[in-house]
Amino acid sequence: MSKSRKTLPLAMAAVGVAIMVSFAAAQGPGPPRLDTNEAYIAELARSHTLAIDDPMAVFGYVLGSLPERVKVYPTENHYYFSFDLNGIRYAGNIKIDARLRAEGKVVFSYYEDRATWLQDTEGTALVVGPSHGVTVEKVEALAYRVSYGKKSVVFALNDLSQVKPPAAALAPNDQFIGPVFDESGITFFLVFNAKLKLFHYILDETIKPADVFVPVPVGDGRILIGKRTGFAVYRDQHRDRKILIGVYRDNVVANNYLDGPFDQMPDNFIEGDSFQQAILAVAPNLKGQINRYGSFADDTRFVVAPYMEYRSPKDLAIFDRCATSRRIPAERYTACFALPLQGNHDANARPLAMQHRAR
């Protein structure tokens, strides 16, 4: 499957209008924040000065604009940001990369975030460290102080080390790879079925999801779509779980927060080479080419996106047809909720269970 990743040094991160999702549980009870068009236009009208073509000047601006301690929610450790400069929107991230941080480095990326009808610019990506005057210091088990010039910021990574899926959410032969906290604010359990050789993102319902999932008039009502995210899940008829089966295609094209969890692997919580071995079970030709994070030598990553990029809820009907088909063996039922990782993922895609039957 060909798909850009916001996590990669050469594939810029897309962002929306806020730095990151804030949860009521983290901030305490109270009314929601009010955003106004007045404030938006006033900010656009201001004249700003920033050497946008100088990556270190932009890095200094971003770091200098942050408080002394911030929370990094997504599990691939990206701290997303955006800003408007003289009528142009820019977006990017500081990535506290699981491998590079041990070398005293982080990845800094930013780009011109254009409207979806206009292709985004290539952007700028830079691994910054001591040679740039940047220091990265581990101050806690999952917290790193990044310093540049006179400014230091502690990036507290999301500690999900105790998060485990309920037993009822796992099928036979399912292996828990790790928790996924997506930049959309939705959390999943990434699992690998060793027998069927497929991945699933299972919605984490041990906490209240940051969305409202409603049934759509497709099939027998087991397909639900999030009102905010557009994430489509299938309510398993045999187990207490909901499996991600689709993300809305326009969000993928926009490369925004709602484009799916493929770029938020559970890097901090992968045990040994379990993720690497799961990938190799699906793609044995990659032996010797990927590390334990599923990364290649150029730091691009193997994409785990077993779900559809749908344009209409009707596109998702194929999953229900597969799940209710008498021609699908019971032992391949869960393969009805995963597409092949390589190849077509639009409305013409077919679940692995149906492809197996066709061979």
Least trusted range by pLDDT, from 79-93, 113-127, 274-288:
113-127
* Domain ranges within the chain, ordered by starting residue: 24-157, 167-358
For the chain, the average pLDDT equals 90
pLDDT at 210: 97
pLDDT band at 194 (very low <50, low <70, confident <90, very high): very high
Tell the burial category of 67 from Cβ atoms under 10 Å away from its Cβ (0-12, 13-18, 19+): exposed
Q: What is the mean pLDDT of residues 299-314?
A: 96
Tell the burial category of 30 from Cβ atoms under 10 Å away from its Cβ (0-12, 13-18, 19+): exposed
Q: What are 119-165's pLDDT values in tens digits?
A: 767 899 999 999 999 999 999 999 999 999 999 999 999 999 999 99
- How far apart CA 221 and CA 218 sit, in angstroms, is 6
The predicted model scores a pTM of 0.89
Q: What is the mean pLDDT of residues 104-127?
A: 89
pLDDT of 323 above 70: yes
Q: What are 21-34's pLDDT values in tens digits?
A: 444 445 568 899 99
- How far apart CA 310 and CA 349 sit, in angstroms, is 10
pLDDT band at 255 (very low <50, low <70, confident <90, very high): confident
Task: Calculate what percentage of the chain has a pLDDT beyond 70.
Answer: 91
DSSP-derived secondary structure letter, 295: B
pLDDT band at 347 (very low <50, low <70, confident <90, very high): very high
pLDDT at 118: 83
